[in-house]
A and B are shown apart, each in its own frame.
Chain A
Amino acid sequence: MIQTRLKIISLLLLVVSCKSYLPPDVVLLKNKTTIIENTYFSDMEKDYIYRANIEAYGNTFGGLFIVKKTNEDTHRVVLTTDFGFKMLDVEVTQNAFEVHFIAELLDRKAFRKTLEEDFKILLKPSYKVYETYTSERLNVFKSKFKNQDVFIFKDQENNSIKEIKLISKSKVKTSFSFNGVNSTLAQKITINHTDLDLKINLTQRQK
């Protein structure tokens, strides 16, 4: 009898602790959208060049963040110092992360893993939608990245992606914010980690 009660309590605790994340002030809609296209970094003709400012563990690193879509599912991503020295050169697909070069200063297993996840989410061409919500100004779509929940926030006015949030253990793990959106280009992108002291600020480089 006591054992059965304990089992029920454990089960209840499990259910409570597994309560999944949901953005505040959203209402569930009947799901009509099946796919969300991520049009940032989607033009194969374009060189995407951003000024990067990376804040990590009290240090700040400045440089250039360069992205080129090289074929339907592949992006080349390069990070250089402002002087032009290459610090990172990778090829990203949703199934692979090929490191062409990484400076020994950055070559830490955990850092590589973090960048791999960040770049794959940032560059993922489309997201399959499982649930659709709405709020006052945004449409919110629940999707998946590997086995983790992802929420995509789209501006109702111009239909651009304003934010992508990666959820882990019912909390926001990483948020990707897109600002100054002009057609398919975001002038400012911020990647903010809540589980790590790491923030990546990208500002489109003016010619």
Chain B
Amino acid sequence: MSDSEAREFRIQAENKAKTIKTLSTGFVQQKHMTFLSLPIETSGEMLFQAPDKLLWKYTKPYVYSIIFSDSKVHINNEGNKSTIDVGNNKTFEKINQLIVGSVSGDLFDDEAFTITLFKSKDFNTAVLVPKSSINQYISQLELYFSKSDHTVSEVKLIEPSGDYTYIRFQNKKTNINLDPNTFKNN
């Protein structure tokens, strides 16, 4: 990607991220580990509300939801609810910001990442290498932006070992009305 293409891609993605107030999408998540015969697949739906509320709801093969909201992670494990305050753990707070940013596309922070941009037939891709302590969990993050609507379509989180998590978003809808209770661990 040339310098001018990179500038244009970044401006488009950043401007698009600013317009997203709410977002809903289905997702398929695959965990790839070199020693496994098959990736571990889960799927569900995800709801986002700017700037930092996120509901990650697994529906297959089990029902489980994670809400990221106000430096807290609320978990509902088939009715068993718990809350983790990550505000006092900088690493996990950064991981939360990374997950939320992966969905919204608002992750172009040169202080936190070394960023390289690429283009392919279907996607503009941002490869982010974390500079902070989260690099013990994630050595590289790849965000695949759709060329048609400039939002994130696929995410690849690569661990230092080379194992990775690959998330594909489907049926994405932006700026829809969300139930005010969506991000409460009811």
Contact = CB atoms under 8 A, between A and B. Distances in A.
A78 B163 CA distance: 12
Contact of A85 (B33, B36, B89, B95): B95
Interface in B58-80: 58, 61-62, 64, 66, 75, 77, 80
Contacts of A205: 40, 61-62
**Chain A interface, >50% SS class:** strand
Contacts of A86: 137, 159, 161, 163
A72 interface: no
Interface string B16-43: 0000000000000101010111101000
Interface string B86-99: 00010100010001
B31 A80 contact: yes
A207 B61 contact: yes
Q: Is the interface of B mostly helix, strand, loop or mixed?
A: mixed
Contact of B35 (A76, A85, A101): A76
Contacts of B161: 86, 89, 100-101
Interface residues of A, number: 29
A62 B64 contact: yes
Interface stretch (A3-11, A46-54, A168-176): A46-54
A5 to B, nearest CB: 59
Nearest to A82: B64
Given A82-B64, A84-B157, A86-B159, A66 B33 contact: yes
Interface string B126-139: 00000000001110
A70 B35 contact: yes
25 contacts: A47-B37, A49-B40, A51-B62, A53-B80, A66-B36, A68-B35, A76-B35, A80-B31, A83-B56, A83-B66, A84-B31, A84-B157, A84-B165, A85-B95, A85-B137, A86-B159, A86-B161, A86-B163, A89-B161, A101-B160, A103-B136, A103-B137, A104-B91, A105-B89, A206-B61
Interface of B: 29, 31, 33, 35-38, 40, 56, 58, 61-62, 64, 66, 75, 77, 80, 82, 89, 91, 95, 99, 136-138, 157, 159-161, 163, 165
Given A62-B77, A82-B58, 17 more contacts: A45-B37, A47-B40, A51-B62, A66-B33, A66-B36, A66-B40, A68-B35, A70-B35, A82-B64, A82-B75, A83-B66, A85-B165, A86-B161, A86-B163, A104-B136, A205-B62, A206-B62
